Amino acid sequence: MEVYITSTGNHLPGPAINNDQIEKVLGLINGKPSRLKHKILQSNGIKTRHYAINEQHQTTISNSAMASLAGNECIENSSVAKNTIQMLSCATSQGDLVLPGFGSMVQAELDLSGVELHSSHGICSSSMMALKAAFTSIKAGCNNNALVIASELSSRLFKHTRYEALEQQEVDFNAEFLRWMLSDGAGALMLEDTPATSGTSLRIDWVKSYSHADVYPTCMSVGTPKQAGGKTWQDYPTYGDAEKDGALLLRQDVRLLDNIINVGVQGYLKVLDEQQLSANSIDHVLCHYSSKYFKSKIFELLNMANCMIPEDRWYTNLYERGNTGCASIFIMLDEFLKTQTYKAGDTIFCMVPESGRFNCAYMHLTVVEK
Amino acid sequence: MEQHVLTPNGQTCLQKLLKVWFEFDLALSKVGIIKRLEQGKLSQADYQKLLLNLRQQVIEGSRWITRCASSFDRDHSDIRSSVIHHAKDEHKDYLMLERDYVSAGGHLEDIQTAEKNIGSEALHGFLMYRASQPNPTDLIGAMWIVEGLGNKMAAKWASLVDEQFGVEPSMTTFMKYHGENDEHHLEELYQLIDRVATNEHVIAKIEKTAKVVARLYSLQLEEVDNV
């Protein structure tokens, strides 16, 4: 059984926010402009992004509603009638509710009936895991189609008031780092067991991921304070105490971050080997790197290994749409299909190296025209 | 970045070696003493233990490399020259390591009289055996692992140790020096890869030797307490 991506959609909330406007939306921590902001933005290269909160810190659209808008756009672009969707597979790093699963909330927003449901929980690669669940379900003949949606609303974590809630400590670099990296958005893909009746489809040749949680400590997390010692947000007497101790801030252990380059390239070499693939045979690369800094490091290693895919085949919309975590790869694929040139038979290689606890996902697609 | 390896076979070989290196890098991060080092939980006694166990490999390293040089016949004399040069550069590095050991609070006599652990025995046994075979071109794979490690020691481990213990006189001169030199050695290694990786059979042997050495090197660090 073959599986095809027959339609895509996205939703980016509100207007594009440029670098000078970020602190107007997220606010100044203790009334002072950030000293790190410029340095981090220069390194990641992001020029504009979107937020689902306004300057008053009100949420303008929920995570599940964003997911639903992207899903609806994807359905409208497809020839699948809403009432014939058999599976819904959703991913996010943080739903609107702690429980139930994100997929349930998105299903209700979309008003889909009787679907088989899957929620994928994790950071950037959770979208690829949601996609893999849908892909294997169709492949196994359990479903004929599946709607896959990834959505992120991380800006709620970055309000200045969250940092100001800290008691007896300064905001550390690791807690502030991602404030200048992440933003909001949703992307959706329709998967079917036959190509679309007209236009372009993408055949999913394979999806493969390698996780290295056994090797490295946690690199990106919410739920543990700066000096963790095994303590999590649920181990405090009250949630208020957890917040005062900084256990609810989104943190990135930047010293561990460089490991993502090695494991990302290692996985790439492994899939080249396992899938009998050569770098020359790849026509387009969509890689979810979080910053320009990583792009150059990845290129350096690929050049060294002599398996670099020429730079003009790499596509990204990171600098204009921002880093939307797990939604990035879907938003990127959607915009690639709508704005770039490609032809039947072209191959597309997608790569999502995740720094959460070092999970790297890869996907190979072939353009099919009808 | 410069293209180091130019022949198509050399490129294939380099790609395979890089893959072995990444796998070794991951395996190494799981070894107890290295895990503690990389996660900032190394004690000073641990660091002494690490140096003490590395010394065996450094001393034996120059021995197997010179043995390897002597096993190349006249048709491979250019390789012999390169390998001799490499061995000469490194054969007294262990003196630096001993000084670091003393700076870290160890007694010179202890490191000089220490027994090889069982992993070191296996590693050196294998390397000396391979180095004694005629024209042991597969040892390029071993050199790749050892040089790569030098690079890692300088770039990552030395700064981690400095961060944790940062004392004067420095306890990391060996790691830093080794790393700086290894960059130059890596350049030579790229040329050797081009020279010897001429067919699939040789490439497979180089890859296998790199894998064996990577595994035995990890074993040497897994067995730091097992003499």
| pLDDT, tens digit, 9 for 90 and up, residues B188-216 | 888 899 999 999 999 999 999 999 999 99
B185 has pLDDT over 80: no
What pLDDT was estimated at residue B20? Answer: 96
Do the chains contact at B4 and A304, CB–CB below 8 Å?
yes
B2 has pLDDT over 60: no
Return d(Cα B44, Cα B172) in angstroms, integer: 12
Nearest CB to A269 within list B1, B11, B15: B15
Closest Cα in chain A to B25:
A262
Tell me the pLDDT tens digit for each residue of A122-136: 999 999 999 999 999
What pLDDT was estimated at residue A301? Answer: 86
Residues 211-230 of A with CB under 8 A from B: 212, 214-217
Judging contacts by C-beta atoms under 8 Å, the chain A residues touching residue B15 are 269, 305-307
pLDDT band at B156 (very low <50, low <70, confident <90, very high): confident
Tell me what the mean pLDDT of segment A292-312 comes to: 87
Judging contacts by C-beta atoms under 8 Å, the chain A residues touching residue B37 are none
What pLDDT was estimated at residue A370? Answer: 83
What pLDDT was estimated at residue A312? Answer: 95
Return the residue matching tokens 């879907």: A330
Nearest CB to A304 within list B18, B26, B30: B18
Q: Any chain B CB within 8 A of the CB of A296?
A: no
B6 has pLDDT over 80: no
Do the chains contact at A270 and B4, CB–CB below 8 Å?
no
B5 has pLDDT over 70: no
Q: Any chain B CB within 8 A of the CB of A306?
A: yes
A299 vs A361, higher pLDDT: A361
Contact call for residues A51 and A183 (beta carbons, < 8 A): yes
Tell me what the mean pLDDT of segment A52-57 comes to: 96
What pLDDT was estimated at residue B182? Answer: 62
B1 has pLDDT over 50: no
B91 has pLDDT over 90: no
Return d(Cα A209, Cα A207) in angstroms, integer: 7
Tell me what the mean pLDDT of segment A205-210 comes to: 98
Contact call for residues A348 and A69 (beta carbons, < 8 A): no
Contact call for residues A36 and A170 (beta carbons, < 8 A): no
What pLDDT was estimated at residue B3? Answer: 52
Do the chains contact at B11 and A306, CB–CB below 8 Å?
yes
Q: Indicate the SS3 state at residue A370.
A: coil
Nearest CB to A300 within list B1, B5, B25: B1
Return d(Cα A262, Cα B28) in angstroms, integer: 13
Judging contacts by C-beta atoms under 8 Å, the chain B residues touching residue A214 are 30
Q: Any chain A CB within 8 A of the CB of B43?
A: no
Judging contacts by C-beta atoms under 8 Å, the chain B residues touching residue A300 are 1
Size of interface A-B (CB pairs under 8 A): 41
Contact call for residues A304 and B18 (beta carbons, < 8 A): yes
Return d(Cα A42, Cα A46) in angstroms, integer: 8
Of A40-54, B38-52, B85-99, the poorest mean pLDDT is in B85-99
Judging contacts by C-beta atoms under 8 Å, the chain A residues touching residue B159 are none
pLDDT band at B147 (very low <50, low <70, confident <90, very high): confident
The alpha carbon of residue B90 is apart from the nearest alpha carbon of chain A, in Å, by: 25
Average pLDDT, chain A: 95
Return d(Cα B189, Cα B191) in angstroms, integer: 5
Contact call for residues A143 and A116 (beta carbons, < 8 A): yes
The alpha carbon of residue B190 is apart from the nearest alpha carbon of chain A, in Å, by: 10
Judging contacts by C-beta atoms under 8 Å, the chain A residues touching residue B214 are none
Nearest CB to B22 within list A216, A266, A306: A266
Do the chains contact at B23 and A269, CB–CB below 8 Å?
no
- pTM, whole model, 2 decimals? 0.92
Over the Cα atoms of chain B, what is R_g? 17
Nearest CB to A216 within list B3, B15, B29: B29
What pLDDT was estimated at residue A296? Answer: 87
